[in-house]
Amino acid sequence: MSQKSLEPSIQTHRELQADAYITVYLSLSLMIILSLILALLQGARAGAVKMKSELVTDIAMNSVLGEYNRELFDRYGLLFIDTTYGSGSGSVINTREHIKEYFSKNFEKSPVGLLTGRTTMIPATLSSVDITGFSVATDGNGAVLRRQILSYMGSDPVEAAIRGIQDNAQTLRQSGFADMNVERDARSCERDLNEPRDLDLDGNGENETYFADNPAAGVTAQKSIGILTLAAPDINELSSAAIDSSKCASHRQLGRGTGLDESESTGVGPDMLLEKYIHEKCGCYGNEIEDSHLKYELEYIYAGKDSDYENLKKVVEKLFVIKEAANFVHIINDPVKLEEAEALALTASILLVIPELEQAIKMAIIFAWTFAETISDLRILLSGGKVPLIKNTASWNLSLENMLDFRDHLQEGGGSGLSYEDYLKMLLIMENKQKKTRRLMDIIEINIRKVTGNTEFKLDGCIDTLSADFDIIGAYGKRIQIERTYGYEMFD
C-alpha cells in the first residue's frame, strides 16, 4: 500500500480518537453537572420543606389565635383563646391539638393527589408539638387581663368625668368623713339617756326612778327598720338576682400559666383607664345593663356579696356613714341649727328633775336630726337626684320640725351635686386595684356563661400568649425544629 493511500485512513482514525475523547469528557462533565443539579435540587427541596414548615407553623399559630372567644370579644373587647372550645373543661392540651390539626391540614395531599396517588416534592409530617409556655387571663393577680383591657382602651383620653371622680375621692379622703363613726357616738348617747336614774328628790329617804324623755326618740327608733328599707323609693322594685360566688374566679383555686408574660403598665394613667373600662362595661343601680345576670355590677365590684340586694345594701350603708358624718359636721358648725336643737332639748320634762341632762338631750336631738337628714339624702340619690358631698344651708333638706316625722317629708329626685352613680364610682376609685380586677373577672365569667356553649367558661382557662416547639420530619428523615411565641401583643 502506498504512502498516499494510508493518509486518509490515519486522518479518519485521528478524528475518531478525538471524538472518543470528547465523548468521555462530556460523559464525565455530565455526571458532575447532574450531580451538582441533583445536589442543588435536593438542597432546594430541603430548603423548601423548611420554608414551608415555618410558614405552616406561623399559619397554625395564627389560626389558633383566631379562635378567640367571640362572646368575650363582642361584649368586653378582650382577645383570649378559650381552651374549653365549647366543651366541658378547658385545658392547654386542647389548644395543642388544635395547633397540630392546623399544621397537618396544610401538609396533607390535595383531593386530586389522594385519588391519583401522587407524592409531593416537599413532604413533611409533624412528629410532635409541645406548648412550652403560656399565660392566662388571671396570671399575675389579673395583670394579663389588665394588660388586655389597656390594649382595648388604646389611647382613649382619661375623660374629665374620671378626673372629677378622682378629685371627689381626694376631697373625701381629706375630710375624714369615711372614717368617722357618728352612729357609735349616737348609740353611746342613747345608752346614757336610757339609763334609769334613782334619785331622792323629796328628801324623804326614798329614791324614785327617773328616765330621760328624748324628744327625738321616735326618730331614733326608726333605725331598726334598716337603712336601705328607709332610703329606697320602693324596696319591692329592687333586683333579686343572685349568684354562687364559690364558682367565680375570686373564690376558687385558679389555674395558672407558666408565667410567660405577666407584664403590665402601671401608674395613674393605666389605673384611670382601668376605672373607665369598668364604668363602661358594668351596670349599676339606676343604670342597669339589660342582659347582665347581676343588675348591680358596680356594686358587686365594691361589695362582693352574692346578691344584688346585699351589694346595694352595703353600698348604701357606706354612703350613709359618709353622708351622716358630713351632715353631723354641718350641724355642729351651724349656730342656728344648734340653737334650734337646744330649744327643743329644753322642752324635755326630765330637765325639771335633772337639769344636767340638757347637753345629752341636745346631742341626742342633733344625732337624730343628722340621721333623718342622711336618710333624706339617700332617698334623693336612689330616686335619681343629686346631693353635694359637703352641704350648706341652701342644700339642707329637713327642718327640725319635719325631722320629727321625717318619713313624711322625704323628697325624690332633684337637687344638685353628685348622683348615686357618682358616689358609687368615688367609692370604687378608692378600692384596691387587685380586688376590683378579681371581682370584674367574676362579672365577666357570670355573663359569658349565660351564652349557649359557654357554660364552663373560666378566665383562668383563657390563653393570651403561648410558646410552642414543633418537631417536624422532612424527606429522608431530616428533622426540623421550630419554636414560636405568639400572642395578642399586636394590639398593644
What pLDDT score was predicted for residue 381? 97
CB 460 within 8 A of CB 249: yes
Q: Which of 131, 281, 94, 99 is nearest to 82 (CA)?
A: 94
DSSP state of 325: H
CA–CA distance, 460 with 257 (Å, rounded to integer)? 8
Cα torsion angle, 182, 183, 188, 193, sign: positive
Residue stretches of the chain with pLDDT short of 50 = 1-2, 490-492
Cα torsion angle, 19, 24, 30, 33, sign: negative
Residue 9 CB coordination number (10 Å): 10
What pLDDT score was predicted for residue 474? 76
Q: How far lies 425's CA from each of 279, 385, 419, in Å?
A: 8, 16, 10
Cα torsion angle, 18, 20, 25, 29, sign: positive
φ and ψ of 419, to 5 deg = -85, 175
Say how many residues make up the chain: 492
What pLDDT score was predicted for residue 153? 86
What percent of the chain has pLDDT above 70? 84
180: exposed, middle or buried (Cβ count in 10 Å: 0-12, 13-18, 19+): middle
- Give me the half-sphere count of Cα atoms (radius 13 Å) on the Cβ side of residue 53: 27
Domain map (residue ranges) of the chain: 156-243+293-416
What pLDDT score was predicted for residue 154? 77
What pLDDT score was predicted for residue 1? 47
CB 449 within 8 A of CB 32: no
